Amino acid sequence: MKKLMITLFILLILPALASASFHVEIKNNLDKKMYYGMYWIDHNYKEIIGPANIAGGELKAGHSSASDFNFPAGKYVILWRVPETDDYMEIPFVVNPGTTKVTLTPKEAKTL
């Protein structure tokens, strides 16, 4: 019985402790339209070489988008691109277990 309890703990509880269900708010606080792509850096998908794309889109100046994600804690990055010039900004961020909110702008990433 003790082995069964330990096995259940390892299979069911430990993965839940390492995951994070978090709210993401992506804000374009610049005065121009921006494209963005959000990537999961340290995923364990063997089929995907390189970062896994988990979100992307276009935001007009001063607009925002919000979503809820249920991904494991880990390393992420958001790439912002200015369509007219192809200039881009790369903002890395880390989601720790227990993180509930991530706010992303072209200048910074805040996690709570």
Cα distances (angstroms) measured from residue 70 to each of 19, 74, 82: 7, 12, 28
pLDDT of residue 15: 47
Torsion on CA atoms 17, 72, 42, 63, rounded to nearest 10: -140
Give dist(CA 112, CA 101) in Å, integer.
5
Question: pTM, whole model, 2 decimals?
Answer: 0.78
Query: At CA 68, angle to CA 88 and CA 11, rounded to 5?
Result: 110
pLDDT value at residue 20? 66
* Domain assignment of residue 71, given as a range: 2-111
Q: What is the CATH number of the domain that holds 64?
A: 2.60.40.10
Say how many domains are in the chain.
1
C-beta separation of 88 from 81 below 8 A = yes
* Amino acid at residue number 94: V
pLDDT at 75: 95
- What is the pLDDT tens value at each position of the chain, 112 positions in all? 544 444 434 433 444 445 568 889 999 999 999 999 999 999 888 898 899 999 999 999 999 999 888 888 899 999 999 998 989 999 999 999 989 999 999 999 888 8
